[in-house]
Amino acid sequence: MSNQSVAAGISLARVMAHCGGSPVGAVELLVRAIAAAPSAPEPYAALAELRQDQGPELKRSLEAEGSLSAVLAQAYFMFLEGDMDNAVMTLGSVTGVRPDVAWGAAPWFGDARLLDGVSAEALAEACLRTLDYGHDLDTDEMRDRFAPWFHALDVVSERSPVPESLAAMARLPRACGRYELSFALCDRADGVERVMWTAVARAATWRVMGDLDQAAEAYESALLLDPANWSLYLDLADVRAEQGDFAAAANLVEQGLEHEPDEVTLRAAGAAYRTRLSGSTEDLRALIALAPQLANTTYRNLLIDYACAGPKLPRKLVAEALALRTD
């Protein structure tokens, strides 16, 4: 949309708000202008004017509306009110729904007042919200759109290096393929205190990069920091399985079961890894019984594939297991 079109949209929004009696409709028009030119200050100035004119009634209307346009406007209004934490988290929610728009290019998102005032915990939560819908962010276009977020991560993590929050922040640059920034956040966190979540963040980044040896080493570090955490045993077991070491994978699952003997995911993984290792029909039957309880269908399929590649398994039983795979 050209500058002229943005200006026309703003003018129409003002008419709709004042003459048409539809301030929520005016907000929608202004958000369309923002989506077309995310870094332009004029639509936000018009939003601020609308907020000034309409007062609390507009706020109540937007809360009742619940649309993406309404939520984005609320994020900006929170910023104007000095509520930086909720402003950033709300913008994270909007970005999670529509990452194809560079919402973070908004002038207020890079404002020093926001970067000085938002907490590390809130920015970490905002980063997680951008990932809620599983969009593919690992493209040059997405990296460009998320550049303001990367700047915010750098500024806030330096000002307030809370290790657990920095570990959560690291997920966003990892999803965007900015691995060096993900590791930099982990390094900054470790400079304050070594915690389990940072080691897990490192491991996940190495794993995405395909370096399974480094991933395994990082998960081992995480286990040293939290040796009773059953999910870490499973994470490391899964890496060992990727490396083809099913004996080590099965052993790690057994260690996890010592801490959480009823965990279905652990039991299913153990059955799958033992089946792959020894061709145990008993373990394959156990996996068949447990598989429907696994909510993560991708992981369920992976375990079934591992198990069905075990030695000398009955074809009928293998077919029964494969029938549980979900496309």
Strands in the chain per DSSP E: none
- Residue 134: how many other CB atoms lie within 10 Å: 8
Please report, to the nearest 10 degrees, the dihedral formed by the alpha carbons of residues 196, 198, 203, 206 taken in order.
-170
For residue 222, pLDDT over 60 is answered with yes
- How high is the pLDDT of residue 12? 61
Cβ neighbours for 78, distance < 8 A, ≥ 6 positions apart: 84, 86, 87, 90
Q: How far is CA 233 from the centre of its chain?
A: 22
- How high is the pLDDT of residue 5? 63
Cβ neighbours for 36, distance < 8 A, ≥ 6 positions apart: 1, 5, 6, 9
- How high is the pLDDT of residue 18? 57
For residue 204, pLDDT over 80 is answered with yes
> pLDDT digit string (tens) for 232-272?
999 999 999 999 999 999 999 999 999 999 999 999 999 99
Q: Give the Cα separation of 227 and 208 in Å (integer).
A: 24
Q: Give the Cα separation of 47 and 80 in Å (integer).
A: 11
Share of the chain above pLDDT 70, in %: 94
For the domain bounded by 82-213, which CATH number is listed? 1.25.40
> pLDDT digit string (tens) for 43-93?
999 999 999 988 888 989 999 998 999 999 999 999 999 999 999 999 999
> pLDDT digit string (tens) for 108-163?
999 999 999 999 999 999 999 999 999 999 999 999 999 999 999 999 999 999 99
- How high is the pLDDT of residue 298? 97
pLDDT band at residue 32 under the 50/70/90 scheme? very high
Structural Rg of the chain based on CA atoms: 25
Q: Give the Cα separation of 174 and 208 in Å (integer).
A: 8
- How high is the pLDDT of residue 54? 87
Q: What is the mean pLDDT of residues 292-315?
A: 98
Q: The whole model's pTM is what? A: 0.93
pLDDT band at residue 24 under the 50/70/90 scheme? confident
- Identify the three-state secondary structure at position 139: coil
Nearest CA to 40 out of 111, 101, 106 is that of 106
Q: Give me the residue spans of the domains in the chain.
A: 1-77, 82-213
For residue 1, pLDDT over 50 is answered with no
Burial 183-194 (b: 16+ CB within 10 A, else e): bbbbebbbeeee
Cβ neighbours for 21, distance < 8 A, ≥ 6 positions apart: none
